[in-house]
Amino acid sequence: MDERAVLAARRGPQCGVPGRVARGRPAGAQGAPRDRWPARLALQRDARGRGGRADRLHGRFRPSQGLSVTDFEALVQPGIARLKAYDPGHDIVALRERFGREVLVELGGNESPFGSNPLVAAAIQAQLAGLARYPDPLATGLRAALARREGLLPDQVLPGNGSHELLMQLAQAYAGPGGNVVVPQYGFAVHVLAAIAAGAEVKRPDALPLDAEMPRGHDLDAVAAAVDDATRLVYLSNPNNPTGTWFPTRALEAFLEQVPQSVLVVVDEAYHETVTVPGVPSARSLLGRFPNLVVTRTFSKAYGLAALRVGYAMADAGLLGPLERLRESFAVNSLALAAAEAALRDQAHVDRFRDSNRRQRDSLTESLQALDLKVTPSQTNFVLVDFGADAAPVESALVERGVVVRPMLGYGLPHCLRISVGDARENARLVSVLSAVMQ
């Protein structure tokens, strides 16, 4: 019996989905509920010695004589000790095994239903003969390609193992004990995680109210007011995950003019390629005026490379210098580098994704509103849906029927679910199942 089967047997009636981990308590925006993650992370979950599960994990782990798991926890640096593990959602591998890839509708990860362009597979194939060799440690080709496209110098671009890595490293390099990091309410969980891991305090200015034109969006005036002499970093997302909300570039420009240049402002543009409304060009256009500005992006969404983990940061070369010293020697693997360069050569693929995503997002929004659900305005490849009551039973019922969406307990939004925009078939299946569940 493999590990997942053992886990499912042990969980028994806790959960209706074999292989799905029980939800447990909400853990706040910076982390996961304690019991969401499979036993391969049980040692991390039980590091505080609760329940003694490490001793019982199939006999594979025994603390050294005279040293308990609790003793190890005492050695952890304070910032890390405050963290709970980032929650990536359901055990999707177990769900795929249960329902099958062709049946399971995965609308929890904000991935592209269109995949990558045909050039990517060929580029990866060409790299297979060289797997015994390390990748280019400087990511020279990808830097050059990105710099050409963005009108920057290569040393103003830094590729990373996903933008997640770069977001973490920015806090590690520039924040720390005695300082604070400002992350708006409902801001991306990784921004909070990065600040806490660096040992900084986190300030959470309120989002815009529900009756605002952009409900639950970033209130940039409140964010600016939260900046003080101890502030080292501000993290913003445009558009924002998980709300889907956005702000115009002129508002960002006005915000940057209020913030001291000693405070780094990081604008996470993971969903930049999904924006279709006017007035929201990339913050990249402001880099020349504001040397404290950092823009991060990813290849995981519109380019369809989520499995390969490629992201990049754009900023003043001097600002990126400490990250160059901090980053891993071979942060981005050869397959990912080749795939990202190939992805950049087919802008038409991204344009098709953007157009299709807009149509499907609008159609999905109308269908959800027809079910009397509140849908937050979105410029991303997902929508935030407010059910007006605890959404956990709805989410559980959807998963039971092979439709995966994302609960929002960790963001303080227990009434909401985040639903990725799929293709027409996936969206129709979601609406059909959801309609049946709500009757």
Residue 233 three-state SS:
strand
120-125: long-range contacts, CB 8 A cutoff, minimum separation 24 = 120/304, 120/305, 120/339, 120/342, 120/343, 122/342, 123/338, 123/339, 123/341, 123/342, 124/335, 124/338, 124/339
Q: How far apart are CA 293 and CA 279, in angstroms?
A: 19
Residue 68 confidence (pLDDT): 61
Domains and CATH numbers, the chain: 3-81 (no CATH), 92-114+348-438 (3.90.1150.10), 118-346 (3.40.640.10)
Looking at residue 66, its pLDDT comes to: 58
Residue 73: what pLDDT? Answer: 79
Pair 338, 405: CB distance under 8 Å: no
Angle in degrees, CA 247, 281, 254, rounded to 5: 50
Predicted confidence at residue 67, as pLDDT, reads: 57
Beta strand 416-420 pairing with 406-407: antiparallel
Closest to 33 (Cα-Cα) out of 309, 408, 421 = 408
Beta bridge partners of residue 420, listed in sequence order: 382
pLDDT at 362: 97
Give the chain's radius of gyration (CA, Å): 22
Residue by residue, pLDDT tens for the chain (439 residues) are 444 443 344 344 443 333 333 333 334 444 444 444 344 343 343 333 333 433 434 444 555 555 565 678 788 888 888 888 767 667 778 888 887 777 789 999 999 998 899 999 999 999 999 999 999 999 999 999 999 999 999 999 999 999 999 999 999 999 999 999 999 999 999 999 999 999 999 999 999 999 999 999 999 999 999 999 999 999 999 999 999 999 999 999 999 999 999 999 999 999 999 999 988 889 999 999 999 999 999 999 999 999 999 999 999 999 999 999 998 889 999 999 999 999 999 999 999 999 999 999 999 999 999 999 999 999 999 999 999 999 999 999 999 999 999 999 999 999 999 999 999 999 999 999 999 999 8
Torsion of CA 299, 305, 308, 314, to 10 degrees: -10
Q: Cite the beta strand spans of 68-179 per DSSP E.
A: 105-106, 157-160
As a whole number of angstroms, the distance between CA 364 and CA 370 comes to 10
- The pLDDT of residue 86 is 66
Q: What share of the chain is helix, strand, coil (3-state, %, to 5)?
A: 45, 10, 45
Round to whole Å and give the CA distance between 167 and 294.
10
d(CA 70, CA 64): 12
| Per-residue pLDDT at 153 | 97
